[in-house]
């Protein structure tokens, strides 16, 4: 039985969880689908990653309204991927904040990424017709930005490249709570199509050094307690290192991409094969790792056409494609 293209066969709806992690921090999680973070300050609310469409964002807004009447003043984009940013208009925030690198990636590849992601995983773009277009930051920063919601200090940090070159984490130092975006996943396969494999482990080391007591990962359950937080970070680090090591061996041996993919899949599946979206991510992950190992420092742009051509090459079928 050929594999359906990417996640087009993944149609099962996921249960939503909304939990309080610390005095001001909440996690909106969905059984391995993309997460959203919420910070309720003294005078306003910050939402971290928006869900993929304005209609889907309404589910987050309803949960926020169940705990506070304060306005949603800020939306933070941890990176540029469509599934994280295209619901932003629903919140009507005062500011949409991202790193300057994320802004630049939207300029360079936002349109292509939107089409690519919708075709790969249509369930995550419920009511795609409600998307008004690309989400554009209204405020950008480099390195670090500090905000205060009343007495609560919030730090937006670029600690290094990993999942993308624009990755931002949101850190509440008073509560030692971290919103990691897709730099950290838990029980879910990191998507590495825009990754910097050489940099990612060191960026995770920088997260570890914060000594978080709570982590909201990009996907997977919220991690409560220092041991769980460190385990989540370590799991992502292991996946990234294991994948890149397997691909580097194949490139050094002069193997073609298809053969490197087969070997990497066989090596990683016993440990990581049950993680959410493993089947979806592996062709794109290995392709990017192959490029980086071969000396291509920056990721190439993913388009819907390139997605399908890669899948056809590595999996031999695009069964299930519309």
Domain boundaries, the chain: 17-315
| pLDDT band for position 322 (cuts 50, 70, 90) | very low
User: Token digits for 287?
Assistant: 């392709």
pLDDT mean across residues, the chain? 96
Helix (H) or strand (E) holding 62: helix 54-65
| pLDDT band for position 3 (cuts 50, 70, 90) | confident
Which tens digits make up the pLDDT trace of 92-150? Answer: 999 999 999 999 999 999 999 999 999 999 999 999 999 999 999 999 999 999 999 99
Please give the CATH superfamily to which domain 17-315 belongs.
Ribonuclease Z/Hydroxyacylglutathione hydrolase-like (3.60.15.10)
> What percent of the chain has pLDDT above 90?
94
Which tens digits make up the pLDDT trace of 179-234? Answer: 999 999 999 999 999 999 999 999 999 999 999 999 999 999 999 999 999 999 99
| pLDDT band for position 88 (cuts 50, 70, 90) | very high
Q: Which residues of 126-165 are buried (b: 16+ CB within 10 A; e: fewer)?
A: eebebbeebbebeebbeeebebebeebebebbbbbbbbbb
> Any idea which residue has 């928006």 for tokens?
50
Strand partners for 20:
26
């Amino acid at each position: 039985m050929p594999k359906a293209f990417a996640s087009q066969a993944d149609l099962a709806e996921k249960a939503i969880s909304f939990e309080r992690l610390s005095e001001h921090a909440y996690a909106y999680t969905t059984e391995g689908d993309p997460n959203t973070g919420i910070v309720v300050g003294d005078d306003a609310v910050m939402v971290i990653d928006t869900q993929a469409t304005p209609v889907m964002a309404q589910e987050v807004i309803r949960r926020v309204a169940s705990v506070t009447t304060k306005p949603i003043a800020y939306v933070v984009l941890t990176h540029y991927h469509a599934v994280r940013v295209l619901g932003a208009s629903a919140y009507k925030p005062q500011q949409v904040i991202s790193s300057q690198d994320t802004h630049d990636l939207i300029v360079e590849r936002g349109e292509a990424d939107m089409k690519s992601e919708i075709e790969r995983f249509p369930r995550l773009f419920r009511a795609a017709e409600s998307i008004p277009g690309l989400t554009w930051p209204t405020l950008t920063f480099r390195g670090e930005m500090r905000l205060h919601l009343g007495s609560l200090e919030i730090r937006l940090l670029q600690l290094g490249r990993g999942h993308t070159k624009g990755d931002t984490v949101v850190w509440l130092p008073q509560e030692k709570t971290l919103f990691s975006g897709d730099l950290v996943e838990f029980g879910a396969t990191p998507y590495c199509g825009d990754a910097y494999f050489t940099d990612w482990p060191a960026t995770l080391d920088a997260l570890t050094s914060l000594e978080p007591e709570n982590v909201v990962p990009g996907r997977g359950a919220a991690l409560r307690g220092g041991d769980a937080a460190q385990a989540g970070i370590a799991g992502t680090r292991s996946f990234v290192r294991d994948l890149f090591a397997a691909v580097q061996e194949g490139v050094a041996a002069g193997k073609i991409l298809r053969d490197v993919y087969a070997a990497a899949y066989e090596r990683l599946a016993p440990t990581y094969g049950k993680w959410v979206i493993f089947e979806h991510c592996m062709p794109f992950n290995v392709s990017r790792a192959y490029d980086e190992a071969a000396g291509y420092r920056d990721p190439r742009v993913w388009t819907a056409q390139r997605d399908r051509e890669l899948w056809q090459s590595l999996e031999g079928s695009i069964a299930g494609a519309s």
